[in-house]
Chain A
Amino acid sequence: MKFAIRALVLGMLITGFAADHMLANKSVATTANTTMVASISASPVPSCEPGTACGLNK
């Protein structure tokens, strides 16, 4: 049981760091473009900003 939990935690750690690494590369590549930075964030409505014709207006 203890071994299984530790293995699970290690798996979570590796997955998390791999995703963070991917995210860091994306962020560096798109720093100049605010819209792109917003789009890779965990927004429930992607690439939408107030006043644009997306999201609830679809």
Chain B
Amino acid sequence: MSVWLHIVLPVFLETLVLSVALYCVYRAQKNRIYPAFWQFLFFSTISQAIQLVDLSLNGLHLLSGVHAYYIYFYIYWVSFGVSAVLILRVLHEMFRHAVRSIPGVQKLGEPIFFWAITISVILAFASGITPHTSGMSLLLASAQVLMRSQSVLALCMLTFLAFASNTLGVPFRSRIFGVTFGFGLMAVGDLGYTALFTYHSSLASAANIGHEAIYLGAIALWSAYFLQPEPARRLVTMPVTSPLMRWNDVAQTLGNPAGQVAVSYPPSFMTDVFDLVENVMGPNGRPQRAVSPPGPVAS
């Protein structure tokens, strides 16, 4: 199989499967409920379609190999970085939906999650800046670190959902779990493939084919989750003494402006003594002149 076909075939398959997933989400009318996920699918489909057109033009000899590769290189890496940011947004969205049943924890967790994402994005760009930074090296290093950050976050999020599904009332057949599982699969594929890449850097290698298969499988999984009706979310019941409920109560009260109370020094024995001394000594610190009682009138 030629090098051209090794690149074109995966791009074509990804475009096709992404289009199907986009249709399934739209058909389930969940694009308004999961806007970040919808945007990610839309962006990925468009960027893959542009890459496909670029490669097809090269295959039809309408575009020279060098120009086609220039376009392909920059579209691939820019969309790779943007996709990583969009995936972070999707994970934030899934976290918000997952902890909806515990509003206090949701309220407290959202800013924490937001800042974790923001810091990982800043670190990604900071790591790309070296003394000899060029536009391309910044793009490659930033995209790589962003991919690693979002992959680790996706795996942590998936583990959290898998082990807290009972507490959160999120069944494994729910779309929240399905979407997160898909990103977890992609994360393992990305990390594993990138780590193995130094040993098998061929487009026809088993690692490359496996990586592509995992990607296609994750997207197909999303389609399946959005095609079937979602089971109703379980009612979360927990004992009143549960620590989670206490955390929830504490988190709900945090940040709420409560009524104000006037705080004053409580009257004490020492305060009374100070007042008495001040009355006796006067403001100068000297004994005030005692008013002598009226004496007997001399006759």
Residues in A lying within 8 Å of B, measured CB to CB: 1-2, 5-6, 9-10, 12-13, 15-17, 19-20, 22-23, 26-27, 31, 34, 37-51, 55-58
Contact = CB atoms under 8 A, between A and B. Distances in A.
B194 A23 contact: yes
Given A43-B76, A51-B66, A57-B65, A23 B163 contact: no
Contacts of B152: 16-17, 20
A6 B181 CA distance: 11
Chain A interface, >50% SS class = helix
A48 B158 contact: no
Interface in B154-180: 155-156, 158-159, 162-163, 165, 172
Contacts of A40: 144, 194-195, 197-198
B158 A37 contact: no
Contacts of B151: 16, 20
A16 B155 contact: yes
Interface stretch (B21-29, B114-122, B185-193, B285-293): B185-193
B126 interface: no
B144 A57 contact: no
A10 B159 contact: yes
**Considering residues B140, B165, B184, B211, which has the most beta carbons from chain A within 10 angstroms of its beta carbon?**
B140
Contact of A50 (B73, B155, B163, B195): B73
